[in-house]
Amino acid sequence: MRSFLNGDNPGHGKRAYYLVASGSVAWDDVYAAVAKALHEGSIIKNDSVVPADETGLKTMAKGLGTDNSLITMRLVRE
């Protein structure tokens, strides 16, 4: 999102997905639909959506360049 807002071209393709909306979004519905599609494509083992564990939070924090304790706030804000 930051790249788009800065006028950059972050690229696109098989490994880049952009979800945009002009209004509010029911994120649980989006997560469920993405999980279902990934499962149907045999990319993930099941279509369950669960909160990230500590390992997942650490990975996201590293990718966003922030502290683990701030990851939830960063994800909600961005």
Q: What is the pTM of this model?
A: 0.55
In order along the chain (78 residues), what is the average pLDDT of each group of 10 residues? Answer: 75 72 80 93 94 88 85 67
Please tell me the distance from the alpha carbon of residue 39 to that of residue 42, in angstroms, as a whole number: 5
- For residue 11, the model assigns a pLDDT of 72
The enclosing H or E element of 75 equals: helix 71-77
Residue 60 CB contacts under 8 Å (≥ 6 apart), including other chains: 52, 71, 75
pLDDT of residue 41: 94
| Per-residue pLDDT at 77 | 54
Report the distance separating Cα 36 and Cα 31, nearest Å: 9
pLDDT of residue 42: 94
